[in-house]
Structure 1
C-alpha cells in the first residue's frame, strides 16, 4: 500500500506528483515533469530550448512536448517572450482584503502601475445605482484600467463610482495611481468593508487583447462592492487577473459562534 505522503513529497504539491493510482504516467506528463525541473534550473527570464530540441532530448514527438508546454504556460511556470518561451517568476500573491492592488504588489518588491483605457460618465441604471449609492439616472463614472506589475500586463480593472461622491475624478485623479489613496488622502473617504466574489472565467476577445493573453487562458474574476465607514455604498469593481500570474491569500480565524 502506498503511503499517504511519500518520502520526499514536497508540502503543498499534489500527492504522488499527479501519478494515477494504476501507476501508468501519460507520456506528456512525464515530459512536463522533466521540463518543470529544467525551468527550476534555468531561473526566471531564461529561455527554454526550442520544441525540436526538447523533443530530441526527451526522445518524444514534438506534439508531446507541445502538450507539456501548453500546460506549463497555463500554470504560469512559463511565459511567451517574442517567438520563444522563457521561465516565469513566482505568481503575484494578492491579499483578499481592503488593501489596494498597489499595496499588494509593492509588498512583493514589484512596481505596480495602471494604464487608463477609458473614463466615461453616464446616467446610472437602477441596478448599479443601488450598488454605488446613487439614484437611478444620476451620473456615474466608469473607469477601465490595465493593471501592470513591472510593466507586465497582468489584469484589467473596471471601477464604477457615483459622480456625486467623486465629482472631479476626470480632473484631479492620476489614472496610473491608486484610486484608494486618492479617495482617502484627497477626499477623506475611508473604506469600511466590502463584499467580494471570486470565480474563474475566460476573457472576452477584447479583454484578452487588452491584457495581452490568449483567449483560452483562465482568468480569476473578482467582483467587489465596497462601503465607507458609515456603511454607505461606495464603489463597484470588476477585476480580471491572469490565472497564470496571480494567486490569492487570506487569513482565517475561528469564529466566535
Structure 2
C-alpha cells in the first residue's frame, strides 16, 4: 500500500499532508485514500484528530504476559515505565471480588488503582485486589513501582502461576479521562488471577489497556 510506504519514512507523531494533497502525491482518489487511512487508524498505525489531521501513532509495545509484571515486561523491551498511584484502600470484598479471590464476601482486601505511563503517555489503568495481612503495601508499591517486586521482596510472596482472561471493552468516561482516549474507544480488558507456589490466590487485577498502543502476545509450547 502506497500510503504505508509513505508512513514508513515518518517517525511517531509526524503529521501526514492534507488528504487532497496526499491523494495527488500518491496518484489515488480521495475515497480510496480515506478508506486506507481509516484501516490504518483502526490498526493503530495512525491516530486521527478531528480538525487537525492524521498523525503517525507511537509504536505498539508488545506485552509479554507471562509470569512477569507489567514493569518487568516493558523494562525488558527498554521502555521506561512510570506509575501513578491513584487510590489505595482496604475494603470489604463484594461478590465479584470474593469469587475471583476465593474468599468470603465482606473479607478485607487491599485495593490499589494505578495508572501506568509509557513514553510519556498513559497506557493502562489497573486495579489490583489482594487478600491477607499486607501492612504498608500501598506505600511500598508506590515507592517501588512494581506490585510483584513488592510482594516478593517485602512479603516473601512469589507469583508462580497466572491466568489471564482477555476481552475487549469500550472506554467509559472515567477510562477516557485517565487514558486520554475518546469515550467508547476500544480497550483491551485483562482480568488476571495470580497464585503462589502453594496454589493460594495472591491477587486479582483488572487492567484496561489502550487498544491503539497494545498488542497482546501469549506464548506456549505444545
- Within the candidate set 69, 74, 78, 1:100 is matched to 69
> Does structure 2 conserve the Cα–Cα contact (< 8 Å) formed by 1:74 and 1:217?
no
1:235 aligns with 2:183: no
Q: Distance in 2 between matches of 1:193 and 1:132?
A: 14
Any idea what SS the aligned residue of 2:9 has? helix
Over residues 4-39 of structure 1, what are the superposed CA-to-partner deviations in whole Å (9 max), with x where a residue is unaligned? xxxxxxxxxxxxxxxxxxxxxxxxxxxxx3222211
Q: Distance in 2 between matches of 1:186 and 1:78?
A: 42
* Closer/same/farther in 2, CA of residues 242 and 140 from structure 1, 3 Å limit: same
Q: Distance in 1 between matches of 2:140 and 2:61?
A: 30
Indicate the structure (1 or 2) with the bigger Cα radius of gyration. Answer: 1
Equivalent in the alignment of 1:170: 138
> Does structure 1 conserve the Cα–Cα contact (< 8 Å) formed by 2:168 and 2:188?
yes
Contiguous gaps of at least 5 residues in structure 1:
1-32
- Within the candidate set 114, 120, 123, 2:89 is matched to 120
Normalising by structure 1, report the TM-score. 0.76
Normalising by structure 2, report the TM-score. 0.86
Residue 52 of structure 1 and its aligned partner are, at CA, apart by 4.0
Number of aligned residue pairs: give it: 220
Q: Distance in 2 between matches of 1:133 and 1:229?
A: 16
> Does structure 1 conserve the Cα–Cα contact (< 8 Å) formed by 2:85 and 2:142?
no
Equivalent in the alignment of 2:156: 188
> Does structure 1 conserve the Cα–Cα contact (< 8 Å) formed by 2:144 and 2:150?
no
> Does structure 2 conserve the Cα–Cα contact (< 8 Å) formed by 1:95 and 1:249?
yes
Residue 191 of structure 1 and its aligned partner are, at CA, apart by 0.8
> Does structure 2 conserve the Cα–Cα contact (< 8 Å) formed by 1:156 and 1:239?
yes
> Does structure 2 conserve the Cα–Cα contact (< 8 Å) formed by 1:119 and 1:143?
yes
Any idea what SS the aligned residue of 1:251 has? coil
> Does structure 2 conserve the Cα–Cα contact (< 8 Å) formed by 1:115 and 1:176?
no
Q: Which runs of 4+ in 1 moved over 4 A?
A: 63-67
Structure with bigger RCO (C-alpha 8 Å, 6+ apart): 2
Contiguous gaps of at least 5 residues in structure 2:
none
